[in-house]
Amino acid sequence: MNYEHILFEINDGVAKIILNRPQVYNALNTGLLQEITAAVTAAATDSTIRVVVITGAGDKAFCSGADLKEGMRDNNNLGDSLRQYYNPMILAIRSIPKPVICRLNGVAAGAGCSLALACDVVIAAETAYLSQIFINIGLMPDAGSTFFLPRLVGMQRAFEIASTGRKVTATEAAQLGLITKVVKASELDIEICEVITYYRNAPTQAIGAMKKALNQSIYSNLDEMLELEAESQEKLSHTYDAGEGIMAFLQKRKAKYRGK
């Protein structure tokens, strides 16, 4: 697939998706949304890919949210737009059986904030911030934010962040548990590289299975989760990586996982 709005790079087991509309702070239009979804879907089916990284072009914005100018010009029905373009992107990120890392290089506002929160790991530059800016135009959070926010920070804090639309600095976001880690802007790529190195060499199928289980646990009971754990462990026990991991443990050496 030829991409117009993203840069899609695959190198040594890592798929990197770069939102490439810096002139509008990587705002989401229909083309960009479709391309992000397509790239994540492609990464899901490529057995050579072990980890996905999503970031924004430039040093000012990860994603500033929906492209309101284009939306007004196209006169889109907001509900239909969410169902057709935004929701498939979020679901693709949550369902891919591989870790998705957000390299939060700048502002993440509106649906851009939702996109960041949908990722499994969020590493932010200290100059970045998040904002549920929807309230500033008389709308409510979408693209999954009403799902992610209360589960990450609790109901009252989620309400406060959503209903004010205030800026949440990367430092505060890390303290609240909204993101994984904040580092100096000059150290962002170093930290991202370390996280990539870990997941690129981790047992990918086990990572995928635990991601699926954690997704399910949010709306399941204990009995259901115990059964899902049993089913997943049975499948994992027959993988190469499980055999390698057990043997490495017994032989007191570092395991060499293949993601199989």
Q: Return the pLDDT at 227.
A: 81
> Which of the four pLDDT bands, split at 50, 70 and 90, describes residue 242?
confident
pLDDT at residue 70, rounded to an integer: 76
Higher model confidence: residue 42 or residue 232?
Answer: 42
30-45 and 87-95 helices, crossing angle to 10°: 20
Q: What share of the chain is helix, strand, coil (3-state, %, to 5)?
A: 55, 15, 30
Per residue in 55-112, pLDDT tens? 999 989 999 999 988 765 555 678 888 999 999 999 999 999 999 999 999 999 999 9
CB 134 within 8 A of CB 88: no
DSSP 12: T
* Residue ranges making up the domain that contains 158: 6-200
* CB of 132 closer than 8 Å to CB of 141: yes
Q: Which two tokens stand for residue 12?
A: 């040594």
Tell whether 73 and 184 lie within a shared domain: yes
Q: List pLDDT tens digits, range 194-223.
A: 999 999 999 999 999 999 999 998 888 778
Please indicate, yes or no, whether residues 184 and 223 belong to a single structural domain of this protein.
no
Instruction: For 241-253, give the DSSP string.
Output: HHHHHHHHHHTTS
| Residues 150 and 221 reside in one and the same domain | no
pLDDT in tens, 126-184: 999 999 999 998 889 999 999 999 999 999 999 999 999 999 999 999 999 999 999 99
Residues 120 and 231 in one domain: no
